[in-house]
Structure 1
Amino acid sequence: MNDGIEREYRGRRVVPTVYVSLVAVAVIVAIGVLNATTLSGLKASAVMVPALWMSVGVRVVLEQWRVRTFVTADGITVRGPLRTRTWAWTEIYGIRVENSRWGSPHWPAYLYRTDGRRVRLPHLDELQLDDPIAEAAGLCATAVRLGLTSLETRPEVEERIRRGARRRTAWQRASGASVVVVVALFVRDFWMIFTDGPTLSFLLLLGIPLLCLPVFFLLLDRLGETLAARRSPGHA
């Protein structure tokens, strides 16, 4: 018996960016293969670049046509590009649609586990549904009506969820700061070319920002935790 809980979310609408991405990948791979065939000696780098872009194209295809979210009375199953995972309703704390400031979709849905960790629910978003927020709310209401789960708020789980959100924010800001470092180094090298000064090697141009990334994250994560502690009701 369905009772309105059995649902499947898949890529029913193919967004234009999917076709644009596939065309771009096809062009880049074709150019890479053409360059590789015209070389007198086949180099590993000439083969690696088309292979990497081919893997990107395969992932785009799998994301659109294989990846799905299944909902049944037994739980929620997420079929990814390579693996499939299932969570029973007893392991599920809730389903929330959140505003994503970066990338697309802008309103993805996430399954939150009882340990506070979250899992993206593919295709439960505004790209495939007219109102993903109402869809998620209806899904949770149906699960509660059937006695599969409870919407009871647990303070310890909510704190883990907030902690995870602060860590993600720290990673995003650390990544942005590392990009600023990359741009600054490239500007510095560009200036050195005209002043006959010493320039950095390509390894250092990439290595320095990569080394800065964990440092930025640790600093921003500590700052975020300090500010959160100050905003907490128990802070004097």
Structure 2
Amino acid sequence: MDGDDGRGIEREYGRHRKTSRGRFVGLCIVEGNFALQMARPDSIPGRYKLLAVALMAMLVGWAILTVRRGRTTVGAGGVTTRGAFRGRRRAWHDIYDLRVERHNSKNADARLLTWLYDNDGRRFLLRNVDDWQLPALRAEIDDLRTVAAQHRGMAWESRPEVEARIRLRAGHRKAQERAAIWTLLVFFAAVGYLVWEVSVGDEPHPFLLLLCAPLATYTLLVTLFRLRAPRAPAHS
């Protein structure tokens, strides 16, 4: 964190602590296995391997740009968080709350993340404002809320109508996450079936298998899960 002083409103949260060694080794193993699979001589046409390599290269490039460019800046006008290609800004009067919440993934370095909730109940991740980059994260957020109070023009207080919007959006988000998991499984199953088609000499249908089937699965499941989703707690 950079700022005028310990309690200044002008702050910038960037990445100053590197990825843990264990996670770095895990990523290297995944990348190495991918390279090995692509180099193996088999019956899969080269154009499909090139497509897979291009997709992986795009993913790696996006991850690198996110790490290098990702940051959160705080000023008298509000909060801005920036990713690989774009940024999001919220003025203080549009910000409902800043909340530290536990990260569900056990493989991530950060266990606690900070989310910005706006008055419409939407939330945005504040990049690098986590307990991996800031060991005293909760104290930092408490201090930031205190010094930002004068710029908001209102107290940090709970409003039932906003809490209801947060619960509704949390339910929708959970439905999207569940649908995405099942869609990913369908995609990998489609990849396996496509490889089998190519290996036995059948005519492959990559457009139907890799695009249409996953999109149809996601659309159907996200609708179903939203209809069945309970009202999630506001802090979920």
TM-score normalised by length of structure 1 = 0.71
**2:29 & 2:219 partners in 1: Cα distance?**
35
Give, as a single letter, the amino acid of the residue that structure 1 aligns with 2:135: D
Percent identity, aligned pairs only, is 31
Q: Is the 8 A contact 1:29 1:53 kept in 2?
A: no
User: What does residue 171 of structure 2 align with?
Assistant: 166
Choose from 83, 86, 93 the match for 2:96: 93
Shift in CA distance, 179/75, structure 1 to aligned 2, threshold 3 Å = closer
**Does 1:72 find its partner at 2:75?**
yes
Q: Is the 8 A contact 1:92 1:149 kept in 2?
A: no
Q: Aligned ranges for residues 42-61 of structure 1 at < 5 Å?
A: 45-61=48-64
* Secondary structure at the counterpart of residue 116 of structure 1: coil
**2:190 & 2:56 partners in 1: Cα distance?**
27
Shift in CA distance, 169/147, structure 1 to aligned 2, threshold 3 Å = closer
Q: Is the 8 A contact 2:77 2:151 kept in 1?
A: no
Q: How many residues align?
A: 215
Shift in CA distance, 134/123, structure 1 to aligned 2, threshold 3 Å = same
**1:47 & 1:79 partners in 2: Cα distance?**
31
**1:183 & 1:31 partners in 2: Cα distance?**
15
**2:46 & 2:86 partners in 1: Cα distance?**
33
User: What does residue 9 of structure 1 align with?
Assistant: 13
Displacement, 1:60? 2.2
Q: What RMSD, in angstroms, separates the aligned Cα atoms of the two structures?
A: 4.1
User: What does residue 156 of structure 2 align with?
Assistant: 151
**1:65 & 1:179 partners in 2: Cα distance?**
28
Displacement, 1:130? 0.8
**1:163 & 1:24 partners in 2: Cα distance?**
37
User: What does residue 123 of structure 2 align with?
Assistant: 118
Shift in CA distance, 183/164, structure 1 to aligned 2, threshold 3 Å = same
Q: Aligned ranges for residues 180-219 of structure 1 at < 5 Å?
A: 206=210, 207-219=212-224
Q: Deviations over 1:146-183 (max 9, x none)?
A: 65553122222111111110001111222334456668
TM-score normalised by length of structure 2 = 0.71
Q: Whose Rg is larger?
A: 1
Q: Deviations over 1:63-122 (max 9, x none)?
A: 222211011112112122112332211111111122232363432111111221111100
Give, as a single letter, the amino acid of the residue that structure 1 aligns with 2:16: R
Q: Can you give the 5+ residue segments of structure 1 that lack an aligned partner in the other structure?
A: 36-41, 194-199, 232-236
**Structure with greater proportional strand content:** 2
Shift in CA distance, 201/66, structure 1 to aligned 2, threshold 3 Å = closer
Which structure is richer in relative contact order (CA contacts within 8 A, separation 6 or more)? Answer: 2
Q: Is the 8 A contact 1:25 1:57 kept in 2?
A: no
* Secondary structure at the counterpart of residue 124 of structure 1: strand
**1:75 & 1:22 partners in 2: Cα distance?**
38
Of residues 22-31 and 128-137 in structure 1, the stretch that sits farther from structure 2 once superposed is: 22-31
